[in-house]
Amino acid sequence: DLLTGLPNRRSFYEQAVHQIALARRHERPLSVLMIDLDRFKRINDTRGHPAGDLVLKAMASAGKHILRQSDIFARLGGEEFAVLLPETDEEQAIVIAERLRQAVAKARFEHDWGEQGPIPFTISIGVAPCFKDDAAIEYALKRADRALYDAKQDGRNRVKVWSRMPEAKASGEVRAAG
């Protein structure tokens, strides 16, 4: 991604194929995070698109400082980011996601133009495991996206975890818990 310096959607998917194969072969955990900047449109509308670009860069910087080098952190498009967490089970992924969410919420991104002051922003994060029988990363991303949707519906600036509803396992319904 030219703006943030992160891998783009295509690169993320290519790396995910490799990571899924490794996790499956070695029977190791693999989790995914879907991240969305809260009320990003409002930042663009009130501060302008250059400010929005700076916020996207700040998000990329925060992720680079919090995440491990082995994690695959990418900008999928717009204000949407994803992280593939090798060797990371659901509980560990929640800790990482919460650490990232808190770091972003505490940061006050300063810029050297305009008189509107710092640009605060928050993120919502959906967490989901990659299952051994997932044929592609899209399955885990859909689960994480569902949890992300629930995080936004529940007020934003939070981490939600995908889980199966006990009574709905047979039907394949999902809910976010956390």
Crossing angle of helices 90-106/49-66, nearest 10°? 130
> From the candidates 79, 87, 110, 115, which is the catalytic residue?
79
Annotated active-site residue 115? The verdict is: no
User: Left if phi > 0, otherwise alpha if psi is -120 to 50, otherwise beta: which for 52?
Assistant: alpha
User: Sheet harboring 80-86: ordered strands across?
Assistant: 72-77, 80-86, 30-37, 123-129, 159-164, 174-177
C-alpha distances (whole Å) from 77 to each of 36, 110, 115, 152 are 10, 23, 29, 18
CB 129 within 8 A of CB 89: yes
Residues annotated as catalytic (active site), given as ranges: 79
